[in-house]
C-alpha cells in the first residue's frame, strides 16, 4: 500500500527534488520511504517540536522540496516554467508561493513551519496532488496572466 503512494507522480517528483541535492551520494542506498520519513510526523511528534526558535535549515529545505515538487509537476503538465519562493520569518510564519508570469498558481501561508509535516505518506501525496491540480486549473483559467 505504502509502495503505491510512493510510486505516485507527485511523490516521485518530491523524491527527485531530494535526491537532486545529494552531492555526496549519501541517499543513494536509501529507499524512497526512508528518504521521505522526516515528512511524516504524528500530532504527538509535532507537539514536541518547539515553535519559539527559528525554523532550522533542514526543515526549511523540506518545505522547499515539497513546493519544488509541486512546481515541477505543474511544469510537466502545463509546459509553463514555475518559480518557487519560500519565505519564513523567525517565528515560523510565512508564505510558500509557486508562480508563473504574474499568476500565483499556489499560495500557502505557513504557520509553525518548524512543525512542517504530514500525518502519513498518503496525506502528503494527497496534499501535494491537490495543490498541483488547483495550480493547473488556475493556469488554464487565466493563461494570459501566467504569460504576463
Which residues form the interface with a copy of itself (CB under 8 A)?
Answer: 83, 85-87, 95, 97, 99, 101-105, 107, 138, 142, 145, 148
The C-alpha atoms of residue 97 and residue 83 are separated, in whole angstroms, by 8
CB 95 to a copy of itself: min, Å: 5
Is the Cβ of residue 6 or residue 64 nearer to a copy of itself in the bound state? Answer: 64
All 3 cell numbers of residue 112? Answer: 509553525
CB 31 to a copy of itself: min, Å: 31
C-alpha distance from residue 113 to each of 19, 34, 80, 133 (Å): 22, 22, 28, 23
Is the Cβ of residue 93 or residue 118 nearer to a copy of itself in the bound state? Answer: 93
C-alpha 61 chain-centroid distance: 9
CB 98 to a copy of itself: min, Å: 11
Is the Cβ of residue 20 or residue 134 nearer to a copy of itself in the bound state? Answer: 134
Is the Cβ of residue 12 or residue 77 nearer to a copy of itself in the bound state? Answer: 77
The C-alpha atoms of residue 75 and residue 62 are separated, in whole angstroms, by 20
CB 102 to a copy of itself: min, Å: 4
Percentages helix, strand, coil for the chain (3-state, rounded to 5) are 55, 15, 25
Amino acid at each position: 500500500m505504502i509502495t503505491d503512494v510512493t510510486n505516485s507522480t507527485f511523490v516521485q517528483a518530491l523524491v527527485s527534488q531530494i535526491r537532486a541535492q545529494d552531492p555526496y551520494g549519501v541517499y543513494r542506498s536509501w529507499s524512497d520511504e526512508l528518504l521521505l520519513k522526516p515528512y511524516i510526523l504524528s500530532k504527538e511528534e509535532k507537539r514536541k517540536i518547539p515553535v519559539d526558535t527559528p525554523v532550522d535549515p533542514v526543515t526549511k529545505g523540506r518545505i522547499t522540496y515539497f513546493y519544488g515538487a509541486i512546481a515541477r509537476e505543474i511544469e510537466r503538465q502545463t509546459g509553463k516554467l514555475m518559480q518557487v519562493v519560500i519565505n519564513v520569518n523567525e517565528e515560523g510564519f510565512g508564505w510558500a508561493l509557486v508562480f508563473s508570469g504574474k499568476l500565483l498558481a499556489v499560495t500557502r501561508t505557513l504557520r509553525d513551519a518548524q512543525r512542517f509535516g504530514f500525518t502519513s505518506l498518503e496525506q502528503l501525496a494527497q496534499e501535494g496532488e491537490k495543490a498541483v491540480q488547483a495550480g493547473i486549473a488556475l493556469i488554464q483559467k487565466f493563461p494570459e496572466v501566467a504569460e504576463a
